[in-house]
Amino acid sequence: MTVKIIVCVKTNRDLQMVRIKNREPVLEAIPYKVGDLEKNALEAAMQIKEGGADVTVVALTVAEANGKIKETMKEALAIGADEAVIVADPALAATDQAAVAAAIAKAVEKVGGADLLLFGEGSTDNYSGQVGSRVAELLGQPQIGFARKVEVAGSAVRAERSMDDMIETLEAPLPAAVTVVSEINEPRIPSLMNIMKAGKKPVTEFTLADLELDAAAAAPQKAVLSNLAEEQDRKHIMLDGDAATQAAGLVDALIKEGVLGR
């Protein structure tokens, strides 16, 4: 029996290239990339496939419609996904986790379902950690969160997660959804050959209308009121003298600021 794994991938702006101006992030011209936590989920799927199971891996993403998404998803295909599914629509530009989960659930049904859905524990930009649980609820599937190890065992998925002073092992019947933590693995770096092959793998694209959803379904249920970097008040304290004098001056300044106790 072939096991179909759909890995839900979020494409994020490369946060290492974001700069701050007037306490606000400047996002113009920032390239997109597959999220780091989603790469952990992709790697988990690849390890299940390479473990001997007959597995098909599909990378699925939901994003606003722009020309960068298809190119960005080649990274997921280069890592090893057999095909990609893209849900892209202008209405998704300012949506939230509820609408993203609804679109994912509809897309999963549109492509014939999946035996196992894999998610990162959260996205590297907003890190709400909601989408995996929301999708599982919409599809009526059991969900295991924060897995540090995952494997398919017959008609079930078995996962381990760390619970402070113990390791908890859980098993759920397929189909099921699992979110994984970053500690689960070290994502592979695609080889040049796999990068070249990625462009030839099948990619299916849907709009919200294709999924029988309208723009109202993508309307956010909450609004971000502020997204400002922490305000910094620099003291501009200059320390003169030799190293010992400067060290003593630094300690004294830290004591006065309450950072160090006397």
User: 3-state SS of 167-235?
Assistant: EEEEEEECCEEEEECHHHCCCCCCCHHHHHHHCCCCEEEECCHHHCCCHHHHCCCCCCCCCCCCCCCCC
For residue 146, tell me if it sits in a domain. yes
Task: Give the global pTM.
Answer: 0.83
Are 67 and 187 in a shared domain?
A: yes
For residue 225, tell me if it sits in a domain. no
Residue 104 contacts by C-beta under 8 Å, 6 or more apart in sequence?
8, 60, 62, 87, 131, 135
Are 92 and 162 in a shared domain?
A: yes
Task: Name the one residue in this structure whose structure tokens are 């003169």.
Answer: 240
| Number of independent structural domains in the chain | 2
Q: What is the CATH number of the domain that holds 130?
A: 3.40.50.620
Phi-psi region of 123 (alpha: psi -120 to 50; beta: other; left: phi over 0): beta
Cα dihedral 17/23/29/31 (nearest 10):
40
Are 189 and 99 in a shared domain?
A: yes
Bigger pLDDT: 105 vs 231: 105
Identify the weakest region by mean pLDDT among 29-38, 105-114, 188-197.
29-38
Expressed as residue numbers, the domain containing 82 is 3-218
Q: Residue 81 gets which letter from DSSP? A: -
Q: Is the distance from CB of 214 to CB of 208 less than 8 angstroms?
A: yes
Are 67 and 133 in a shared domain?
A: yes
Are 68 and 166 in a shared domain?
A: yes
Are 57 and 80 in a shared domain?
A: yes
* Model pLDDT, residue 196: 94
Q: Is the distance from CB of 42 to CB of 19 less than 8 angstroms?
A: no
262: pLDDT strictly greater than 70: no
Q: Are strands 156-163 and 166-173 parallel, antiparallel or unpaired?
A: antiparallel
Are 13 and 137 in a shared domain?
A: yes
Are 251 and 210 in a shared domain?
A: no
Burial (0-12, 13-18, 19+ Cβ within 10 Å), 81: buried
Are 94 and 154 in a shared domain?
A: yes
For residue 176, tell me if it sits in a domain. yes
pLDDT tens string 128-153? 788 999 999 999 999 999 999 999 98
Terminus-to-terminus CA distance in the chain, angstroms?
69
For residue 207, tell me if it sits in a domain. yes
Are 141 and 262 in a shared domain?
A: no
Give the separation between CA 29 and CA 125, rounded to whole angstroms: 17
98: pLDDT strictly greater than 80: yes
For residue 81, tell me if it sits in a domain. yes
Are 211 and 246 in a shared domain?
A: no
Give the separation between CA 206 and CA 223, rounded to whole angstroms: 26
Are 104 and 168 in a shared domain?
A: yes
Give the separation between CA 126 and CA 104, rounded to whole angstroms: 18
Nearest in space to 118 (alpha carbons), one of 216, 3, 15, 20 = 3
Most confidently predicted of 36-45, 61-70, 207-216: 36-45
pLDDT tens string 179-205? 999 999 999 999 999 999 999 999 999
Strand partners, 143: 177
